[in-house]
Structure 1
Amino acid sequence: MRIPGLRSIANRKAAALFRLTAGFVFSQVLSTCVRLGIFAQLENGPRSAEQLARDSGIRPDKMQLLLEQAERLDLVTQVQPGSWMLDDAGAVVAGDQGIRQMVLHHEMLYRDLETPENLLKNPDKETRLKSFWAYARGRQTLEMKEDTAQDYSALMRSSQSMLADCILDAHDFGRYGSILDVGGGDGSFLTACAERHPNLHLHLFDLPVVADLARKNLTANGLENRTSVHGGDFVSSSIPTMADCVCLVRILCDHDDDRVRDILQNLYASLRPGTKLMIAEAMSGPSEGARLAAVYFSFYFLAMGSGRCRSDADIKALLLESGFGKPRTVKTNNPLLATLVFAER
């Protein structure tokens, strides 16, 4: 920092290091704004700190303290003395339910990561995330109860919108007559596909209790005549074979390599020759988005008790090992959310 030509570089690196050491505090500013409904209150235009304090049930001086920190993180901005409105990042959070739900979900993750060295030493330790993601490690999945499936399905649904857009912008599913979403949850991805491609026939495969949720959701969206829903386990049950393209959206990343091999080998044994397979999930890689995703998901999966953030090369190797051919990578416009890998049965 004493060298004039290098001072700006040193300051930038110092600020980056401080973001790491103080990052939890920054995330708690965001989390507090979400829990207090600050972004929702500012969606319709500027409001005063006093108004926000009254509606949030906290003292005006403490609301002012929160807003000042949120402004420093580009979440809100003071348009004139005492009047606050959304800044760019705050507007994105306000407009996307999935982000808000993930921020609230992080309360569970942060408790599990309070002492991550204990998880590294004892990865079999019970955690909140292991209980929440009930299908982790293949625990009696076919006997899963509806309320358990509803909890994690709701979070997956709320965080699906941006991911679906990312995938659909990167690949034209209109070239197929039909697609099958394996592990498709309540059908949110298929619903997004249906909006883009009105002639596409839709199939969904998931655990029986989740498949029931999917039928209700797809019917509520007026898609019952375009969809077929199938229940089963993607390791032990035969996979339906009528689709031209089979999709695994955020599926392989949740599982360890041995279970991924079981999933892929069951798919290979079930599908017709020539069927396309698409894997879409956040993958490690050289881009900033891929690097950030890998750090986040690696420790998320540590707390969850299964899965890992793989590179596209890792996934291609697993595909080839399972018998699939012609693996190729398709980049999306947001590697923080997903990269696509295609292969052929």
Structure 2
Amino acid sequence: MSLWGRARDQWRQLRNSLLADPRFQKFAVDFPLFRPIAQRRSRALFDLLAGFAYSQVLYTTVKLGLIDMLQARPLSPADLAARLGWPPSRCDRLVKAAVSLDILELTDGGLVTLGQHGAALAGNPWIARFILHHDLLYDDLADPVALLSGAKKDCKVKDFWSYGDQHNATAYTALMAASQQAVAAEVLAAYDFGRHRHLIDVGGSNGTFLAAAATRHPDLRLSLFDLPAVAELARTNLGDRVQIHGGSFLTDDLPAGPDVATLIRIAHDHDDEAVLRIFAAIRRMLPAGGVLILAEPLSGRAATAPITDAYFELYFAAMGQGRTRTPQQLAAMAATADLSLHTVAKTKRPVVASVLQFTAI
């Protein structure tokens, strides 16, 4: 370990001993210069404690349709209660909670309207669809210790994403497509596919990304590869503009010809062994110098850590497979298939997706 690393470890030990000391806690609150820091850290700790309640308030407002209802026009608390069929006191409790989280807001005239988070949800309906989907995750999280330890085997999220028998193909494809436009915008802004002649989207779902790529690059030849039931949904959406191929990227060869492939929010849905097989299949397909564009939220980054390393890891535990990875981890795995990491492109919304460019060697 480097000298700097040892110094950081010593500082962590000192910091933790101070923060755990009741006398230092009292000093920090009493001392004017330290008080704002102590207050922020205390609030952050209580936010961790109450986070489950915040998510339930958010879920309830979306489940009841309050976002759409209040986007149309503000309502009085009495009118809102009447529309919900709730006793006014019960409705007031929900409104009070949602206002505190900036999901809803009270006007100067006392009407209930959307807060900043509520307005953002109205403009991004795909987020609301994921929020409603969380009823499955909440059920699986009834015993988080069993879920994280692997003792819980039967999970509703796992059943929903059961790609093997594809019995939920329509439902999970629709859910993924709801957010795919936001991801497509990040990918297309980060990489110029116009330098290529033939793009294949591996695990391309219903073709939302390729539809956006076709608009941006009308001369680009396009192909999509996904499970047969999903591929049929893509065929319905895309028509003759895109070549559709049904199969499994874990067991089947990818169609020859493309000089660039995309892997959009696929790697983090799979365990390491599966990702290695996907990389190998893509490398067998690509010519030397061909490009793989991988897009998904990345682990190990301060700006996205609570989403990637807390939320997604719990979700993947319920899904029964998958994990978030750093660029270095992905680079090491891709290297086993002769795919060299070329660039980690900056995106405007890394919580939606970061973009990695690999070159076939």
Fold in common (TM above 0.5): yes
In the alignment, which residue of structure 1 is the partner of 2:277? 262
User: What's the counterpart of residue 203 of structure 2?
Assistant: 183
Does the CA-based 8 Å contact 2:224-2:245 persist in structure 1? yes
Letter in 1 for 2:268: C
SS in 2 for 1:41: helix
Which structure 2 residues correspond to residues 272-283 of structure 1 after superposition, within 5 A? 272-283=287-298
In terms of mean alpha carbon deviation, does 10-19 or 323-332 score higher? 323-332
> Is 2:169 the partner of 1:149?
yes
| Alignment partner of 2:355 out of 326, 340, 344 | 340
Coordinate RMSD, CA, aligned: 1.6
Aligned ranges for residues 240-255 of structure 1 at < 5 Å? 240-255=255-270
Structure 1 letter corresponding to 2:156: R
The answer as to 2:51 corresponding to 1:23 is yes
Structure with greater Cα Rg: 2
Larger mean Cα displacement after TM superposition, 71-80 or 10-19:
71-80
Go from structure 1 to structure 2 and tell me whether the alpha carbon gap of 1:7 and 1:45 turns closer, same or farther (over 3 Å shift): same
Cα offset for 1:331?
A: 2.1
Instruction: Quickly say closer, same or farther: Cα 1:36–1:13, change in 2 above 3 A.
Output: same
The match for 1:228 is 243
Unmatched tracts of structure 2, length 5 or more: 1-28
Does the 8 A contact of 1:290 with 1:336 survive in 2?
A: no
Residue 6 of structure 2: aligned partner: none
Distance in 1 (alpha carbons) for counterparts of 2:341 and 2:129: 37
Q: Which residue of 1 aligns with 2:83?
A: 55
1:209 is aligned to 2:193: no
Going from structure 1 to structure 2, the CA distance change for 1:314 and 1:40 (only over 3 Å counts) comes to same
Are the counterparts in 1 of residues 105 and 113 from structure 2 also a CA contact under 8 Å?
Answer: yes
Counterparts of residues 105-184 of structure 1 (less than 5 Å):
105-122=133-150, 125-135=153-163, 141=164, 144-145=165-166, 147-184=167-204
SS in 2 for 1:163: helix
Q: 1:310 to 1:215 in 2, by over 3 A?
A: same
Unaligned runs of 5+ in 1: 136-140
Q: Does residue 323 of structure 2 align to residue 323 of structure 1?
A: no
SS at match of 2:351: coil
Question: In the alignment, what sits opposite 2:24?
Answer: none
> What one-letter code is carried by the residue in structure 2 that aligns with 1:89?
H
Q: 1:74, CA displacement in angstroms?
A: 0.9
Q: Is contact 2:198–2:222 with CA below 8 Å preserved after alignment? A: yes
Q: Deviations over 1:220-256 (max 9, x none)?
A: xxxx3x2111111102211122223100001010111
Query: Is the 2:146–2:152 Cα contact (8 Å) retained in structure 1?
Result: no
Give the C-alpha shift of residue 113 in structure 1.
1.6
Tell me: CA distance 1:97–1:343, structure 2 relative to 1, closer, same or farther (3 Å).
Answer: same
1:271 Cα deviation after fit: 2.2
After superposition, the Cα gap between the structure-2 partners of 1:263 and 1:69, relative to the gap in structure 1 and judged at 3 Å, is same
Match of 2:99 among 59, 66, 71: 71
Q: Distance in 2 between matches of 1:242 and 1:16?
A: 52
CA distance in 2, matches of 1:199, 1:59: 59
SS of 1:280's equivalent?
A: strand
* Alpha carbons 2:296, 2:353 under 8 Å: kept: yes
Contact 1:48 1:83 in 2 (8 A): yes
TM-score by length of 2: 0.87
Displacement of 1:95 in angstroms is: 2.0
| Matched residue, 1:138 | none
- Would you say how many aligned residue pairs link Structure 1 and Structure 2? 332
**In the aligned structure 2, how far is the partner of 1:123 from the partner of 1:185?**
31
**Matched AA of 1:244:** D
Q: SS in structure 2 opposite 1:4?
A: coil
Amino acid at match of 1:179: L
Task: Quote the Cα distance in structure 2 between the aligned partners of 1:43 and 1:195.
Answer: 31
Q: Distance in 2 between matches of 1:290 and 1:164?
A: 22
